[in-house]
Amino acid sequence: MPVSETFFPGRFAGKRALVTGGAGGMGRAVSRRLAREGADVVIVDIDAEAGSRLAGELSAAGGRASFAAADVSDAAAVASAIDGAGPLDVLITVAGGSAPGLVADLEPAEWERLFRLNVVSTAAAVRAALPGMRRRGGGAIVTMASISGTAGDPGWGAYNAAKAAIINLTQTLAWEEGRHGIRANAVAPGPIASPRMIATIDDAEQRAYRRHSALGRLGAPEEAAAAILFLASDDAAFVTGATLVVDGGLTARTGQPLAFDATLEHLS
């Protein structure tokens, strides 16, 4: 369904914000919204063509945007991109990835790959951004968790564990950096209809997601971006160490299947 966006012009005026994975899907929506709300946006993405194109589009529309190519699984490349951007006020780590597999079957190399792509990349970005934020007297960090990090979904053990680690990392950061005026929060999206997600699930899976959503639909990247920007903004000045779930109510029930099915049939 079409999403109505409400922008807050000037909310990020005078602030420099860097977004990893900022050229596609949810990251693109975040970068676009930051530019619309006055930020100087640095887009970091592995897709050089998409990143350069988006930075050009945002600049042509009157925003301030630049692009740096980097593979977030390469910690040195992430640090280099952040160092090149200069001191940041806002860091948003959208980049990551998933892969299915039973715990009994996954090879150690796959665990290492997923943790490097999700957890180590986040820690590397934060480590590179912290000195500049401390010099500026504060900042806001928003990390990308997932509802998969809040419970165990069979067949996704490594991904679940990686996203759970990001939630704990974010809580730790909130305490370690709070006295420096730096806030750290996580967003835990549920099913968001990004181009990548839509390309990987069939109609039956889409219907299943809608059935298990209290709102009866998938979320839009722009809706996730709105939640992320709230946490990154001064509107959330007293919010730190939190995980904001953006899942249309998918995780708001106990999971008891018989009660759920009977109630859903009645509501229909």
Element of type H or E holding 186:
strand 182-189
Catalytic residue list contains 209: no
Distance, C-alpha 29 to centroid of its chain: 11
Task: Pick the catalytic residue from 159, 189, 218, 245.
Answer: 159
> Vertex 209, ends 150 and 6: CA angle to 5°?
80
Q: How far apart are CA 152 and CA 150, in angstroms?
A: 7
Cβ proximity of 51 and 95 under 8 Å: no
Q: Which are the contacts of 55, defined by CB distance < 8 A and separation ≥ 6?
A: 41, 43, 65, 66, 67
Laid out side by side, the sheet with 243-246 consists of 64-69, 40-45, 16-20, 90-93, 139-144, 182-189, 243-246
What's the helix, strand, coil split of the chain in %, to 5?
A: 50, 15, 35
Instruction: Point out the residues that are catalytic.
Output: 159
